Amino acid sequence: MSKTSLFLKTGLGALLLLSGPAMAQETPEFAKAMDTTFIFNTLLFLICGFLVMWMAAGFAMLEAGMVRTKNVSMQCLKNIGLFSIAGLAYWLVGYNLMYDGVDGGYMGSFSMFTTPDPSEDAGSYAAGSDWFFQMVFCATAASIVSGTIAERIKIWPFFIFTALLTGFLYPITGAWKWGAGWLQVANFQDFAGSTLVHSVGGWAALAGAVILGARVGKYNKQGQVMPMPGSNMPLATLGTFILWLGWFGFNGGSQLALGTIADASAVARIFVNTNIAAAAGVVAAITLTQLMYKKIDLTMALNGALAGLVSITAEPLTPSMPAAAFIGAVGGVIVVFAVPMLDRLKIDDVVGAIPVHLLAGIWGTLIVPFTNGGATYGAQIIGIVAIGAFTLTASTILWYALKLTIGIRPSLEDEVAGLDTAEVGLEAYPEFGQGSQRI
């Protein structure tokens, strides 16, 4: 990082400077479009990639805020662990399974992604920046699962499932569309992953929630729902803001290019629509909960934002702003109705990830043809059903296999005592309140 080496490194510019400004003006050396395009595209992947990486912290905070104190350390551990495991699994298996030679088919090759040699960085972006951007998407799918099945799963089966989800399940369905597989051929459209990322996470979460069963005490013998309020609302709020911020990277980066005026304008429109959809999701959720319950529900407002974001993710570019507001608002409405509906079905989704990521993801994918003339409702339904069927089936098999082998659920005593004590050995807030005495 010495200033000397900087001059040596930035070859061309420095050379021109050394020859003096007068001479530089006489013989101006122009920037090659190939170079600036490459740099802009790479920069887009890196910036949007770090924003999506930051979403891992958003999920961690959202979930840490929505579980009871006795399971907060566990939830933190799951989140730092899953992001790490996802990064390794996507490198060892996932990326090439998703992108390498899919060619209209069902999956790519079983080979490891290797850091490109400098000399191999041909193309219109740095291969490393693309891997980084795709990897954080993969990790997002795993984050979704973590929230739904919180407070009642052992740590190692969760980590094993994460490795399989991010190494195999997500990459396979990803290959179908983004890897230029059969769903791409079938004209299924999913710009940034309402289905490929969010619904995949949601289906995997749903399978887990059903197989695990509800938390002890969540549904009593009379069939009533016992509220188990989250322990830290500002953390949940912080998590939501982090996710909102990260989503600009999630959707904006999915334009995949920034090297032309058209691409830059597209990324800008995506930012606008992403924000409008989230805002509309919040306003829909707060208005609706006020009307239905005479009070605004903060957690519904937060999930309304997320549902708006998931909804616009399948097509953040073509909608006009009113259309984006409509798409996001319906997302918010879905959450308000789906959360109690899941409770009636006794599916215990701790953070509301199934309504937010699965249902709003389906909605967002379905509505693509409303604004994108190149999409068809038929192809959208095929994609939603195919990816759902695969992910739900494969997840169910995996969860059952884990259940039958190492077991997935802690003992009743451990669950009542809290997983922080039983599995992590570390209370999240050792000096506050009565955490572990509560069910």
Distance CA 252, CA 242 (A): 16
Residues 6+ apart with CB under 8 A from 261: none
The burial class, CB within 10 Å (0-12 / 13-18 / 19+), for 409 is: middle
- The whole-angstrom separation of Cα 142 and Cα 374 is 30
Residue 401 in contact with its own copies, rule: CB under 8 A: no
Q: Is 212 a binder of its own copies (CB under 8 A)?
A: no
Query: What is the contact mask toward its own copies in residues 214 to 253, using x (rule: CB under 8 A)?
Result: ---------------xxxxxxxxxx-xxx-xx--x---x-
User: What amino acid is encoded at 81 in this protein?
Assistant: G
- Running DSSP on this structure, what letter comes out for residue 225? B
What lies within 8 Å, CB to CB, of 212 at 6+ separation is 149, 152, 153, 399, 408, 409
Rank residues 162 and 206 by Cβ distance to its own copies and give the closer one: 162
398 binds its own copies (CB under 8 A): no
- The tokens describing 53, both together, are 């990486």
Task: Examine residue 410 and tell whether it contacts its own copies (CB under 8 A).
Answer: no
**Plot region of 105 (φ>0 → left; ψ -120 to 50 → alpha; else → beta):** beta
Q: Least distance to its own copies from the beta carbon of 381, Å? A: 20
d(CA 25, CA 434): 73
What is the rounded CA–CA span in Å between residue 188 and residue 94?
21
Backbone region of residue 189 per phi and psi (left: phi > 0; alpha: psi in -120 to 50; beta: other values) = beta
Taking residues 318 to 357 in sequence order and writing x for each that binds its own copies by CB under 8 A, - otherwise, the string is: --xx--xx--------------------------------
For the window 91-120, what string marks contact with its own copies as x by the rule CB under 8 A? Answer: x-------x------------xxxxx-x--
**Which 295-324 residues touch its own copies, going by CB under 8 A?**
295-299, 301-302, 305, 320-321, 324
Q: CB under 8 A: which stretch of 212-220, 264-272, 343-351, 376-384 binds its own copies?
A: 264-272
C-alpha pair distances (Å), 157 with each of 149, 170, 178, 407, 410: 12, 18, 29, 7, 11
User: With respect to its own copies, which residue has the nearer C-beta, 396 or 436?
Assistant: 436
Could you give the string, one character per residue 22-51, with x where binding to its own copies holds by CB under 8 A and - elsewhere?
--x---xxxxxxxxxxxxxxxx-xxx-xxx
Choose the stretch contacting its own copies; rule: CB under 8 A; options: 132-140, 209-217, 334-342, 401-409: 132-140
Residues 266-285 that bind its own copies (CB under 8 A): 266-269, 271-273, 275-276, 278-283
Q: Is 173 or 232 the residue whose CB approaches its own copies more closely?
A: 232
Residues 141-180 that bind its own copies (CB under 8 A): 155-156, 159, 177-180
Smallest distance, Å, CB 149 to its own copies? 18
